[in-house]
Amino acid sequence: MIAQNARVANRRADPARQAFVVALAFFCQWAAWPATAALPPVEFSAASVEIGELRATGLEVRLENGRELEARADQWRHQAIDRVFAAVALDGRLVDGQPPWKATGLSGRVRTEGHEADLTLRRQEGGVEAELVIDMLPLASLADIAGSTDLAGWLTRGTVSARLRYAGKAERESELTGTLRIGDLAFDSPDGRFAAEGLDFVVEGEWAGSDAPGADLRGTLASGELLIDSFYRDFSDGTLDFALQPRWRQGNLSLENIRLTDRQFLQLRGRARIPSGGDLQNASITVDRLELAFPGAYLRYIEPAAATWTLDGLSVTGGMVWSGSWNAGVFRSGDLELRDLSVVDTTANRFAFTGLEATLRPGDHRFDSKLAWRGLLFGRINLGAGEVALDSEPGAVALRRPLELDVLGGRLRLQDFRIVFPGRSEDLEGEPDIRLRVGLEALDMKRLTAAMDWPSFEGKISGEIPGVRFQDGVLEVDGGIRVNVFDGRIDLQDLRIERPFGVLPSLAGTVEIQDLDLEQLTRTFSFGRIAGRLDGHVHELRMLDWRPVAFDAWLGTPERQQEKNDISRQAVNRLTTIGGGGATAALTSPILRLFNSFSYRRLGLGCRLRNDVCEVRGIGEDDVSVLLLEGAGIPKITIRAFNRRVDWPQMVANLLAISTDSPEPPGN
């Protein structure tokens, strides 16, 4: 009868089904055996067995009393297994119920690549249950099993422990529950952007299969260090709890109800969506609410990234609440609320913002955003307290009316200020576009130079900054900045600053100087009195870390100036020192000692800086020298520079020494 059933199966089914029919016929015969009769033991062994794509080698099976089955196999192979494992070995014990076998259990050891796990299978009426227990399995072995050489190359150490339970019922959805624990994880990417050391975390959850399968996951990052690009966190000072609900719908993955919690320092709620095929470029992330409490949130999550802008070491207190989204590569900012936020640069004393209060709602025309502060300090320039009303529009916040502040004995007028948040246009993908227009009125230069720790200036500064734009880490000035100083003007043009708050900031620009009063200028720097006017320029200016590394500069007498002017004995000596040359007449001669000043017709000094060398030029030159000053009248003096290539650091040191010397007595 068994053989007959097998022959029928051979004609009608593929090999896998044939084997199933043969086995079914065999157990039907076994079930017909009288219940009171002793069932004979059945033993089966084979060097190799193939049932369709399933292959087993070294198979041994023993059945006693029709209920207890012991089985082992050196190796099971199947296409589905081979995609994950090289092979699986199994030995265990099957305990079957009495006919009609409504309950069946199999427990044993699963072995693969020299590693083991406990596996229990139970067949209940109408369903199947399974449990897999893994204890301290090296993560590197899983990478080897999966055939991922890249992942194996990253891993330094780490273990995985897990307890997974599966329940499949015909009348309800399949369900998978379990706990996964990763211990002492250490990895390092080849480029050094991603790394972990001693990382421990636990994930537990439930998964349900349906037309739209999904899971509920929650876990804790408990200890260790983690580096993800510019983000760094040491979890030894506290844990980070997380939860999310993955859902799969029509090939799309959505992550619902994302939660991140770090005690009272960080609370985040959000969601994400990844299109089918793992297309991250078109993925979307929405932060419904991010609440940060400082200083804890700054120290744990912001300071490492801020260090790339040299903004580490700040004292930050207060709090903030923010929302935003990232969709298809475009970042869009939402509402922002600042709560008594203070940010003080206690390390370099560059700035201090205290008592910041703000409520910004871009796109909500029914709500007028506002920003207020108790104190605003840049260096030693105190701008005091203030408040501004902001006009909200989609993706942007702008100043509703000009803001005027008393500063340095004068007035600062913020005529226009506008922030366009990323996502407003396709050109803004990562950082906000900030634009402003500022007017300066009668700022006291003596106060300004003292606040900036510069050589003391005399006079007032008035001018206008027509437009400033900050985008993608670059600050650019639209048009030019005009500063009225020393009874003349200085125009700053084409200014561009890269990384203004980062490491090694870089500045490029052009300076035009017109009609400065030389007497005011030289008196300010204790150079010695020089009367007359001065024009000049600094072209191709390049500064790195606020130090000039290249320029082409010229300072000289304007062509429109025809009359003679005076220069003091001290100024002659200083100009001679800068040029490395000398005067044609010795100022120490008995006759010249009677003169405290001399007449000159014109002067000029140029410098082309490259590689820390200043190439000196003047108003004329010959084979051996460069003419810096052409004298007039009696006694007539002429100043020449005989060194055309001057060491720039030494030249700067000489200028600084001159500016700190005792000023020239009045009347000289």
Contact call for residues 138 and 159 (beta carbons, < 8 A): yes
Question: Does the reported pTM lie above 0.75?
Answer: no
20 and 111 share one domain = no
- Which of 85, 120, 155 is where one domain is finished? 120
156 and 224 share one domain = yes
- Which of 120, 139, 167 is where one domain is finished? 120
Q: Residues with Cβ < 8 Å from 540, sequence gap 6 or more?
A: 510, 550, 551, 552
| Domain assignment present for 451 | yes
| Domain assignment present for 373 | yes
| Domain assignment present for 280 | no
436 and 539 share one domain = no
Phi first, then psi: give them for residue 286, nearest 5 degrees.
Answer: -125, 125
| Domain assignment present for 442 | yes
504 and 595 share one domain = yes
What is the pLDDT at residue 602? 93
Nearest one of 552, 637, 574 to 600, comparing CA atoms: 637
What is the pLDDT at residue 336? 87
535 and 452 share one domain = no
105 and 148 share one domain = no
157 and 110 share one domain = no
523 and 623 share one domain = yes
What is the pLDDT at residue 97? 47
| Domain assignment present for 355 | yes
| Domain assignment present for 632 | yes
| Domain assignment present for 274 | no
E strand or H helix at 153: helix 149-154
450 and 545 share one domain = no
Q: DSSP secondary-structure letter at 454?
A: P
Q: DSSP secondary-structure letter at 481?
A: E
502 and 527 share one domain = yes
Containing structural domain, residue 169:
126-211+219-237
- Which of 96, 120, 144 is where one domain is finished? 120
Nearest one of 386, 331, 330 to 354, comparing CA atoms: 386
| Domain assignment present for 298 | yes
Tokens representing 375 are: 């104190």
* 261 class by beta-carbon count within 10 Å (0-12 exposed, 13-18 middle, 19+ buried): middle
263: left (phi over 0), alpha (psi -120 to 50) or beta: left
What is the pLDDT at residue 14? 47
Contact call for residues 442 and 419 (beta carbons, < 8 A): no
Instruction: Tell me which residue has tokens 């990417």.
Output: 189
What is the pLDDT at residue 590? 58
Tokens representing 653 are: 């040191």
534 vs 567: CA distance, rounded Å: 13
Q: What is the domain count for the chain?
A: 5
342 and 421 share one domain = yes
94 and 132 share one domain = no
Q: Show the low-confidence residues of the chain (pLDDT under 50).
A: 1-24, 27-28, 83-84, 97-103, 147, 426-428, 582-586
Query: What letter represents residue 561's amino acid?
Result: Q
Q: DSSP secondary-structure letter at 77?
A: E
Sign of CA dihedral 267, 271, 277, 282: negative
What is the pLDDT at residue 668? 55
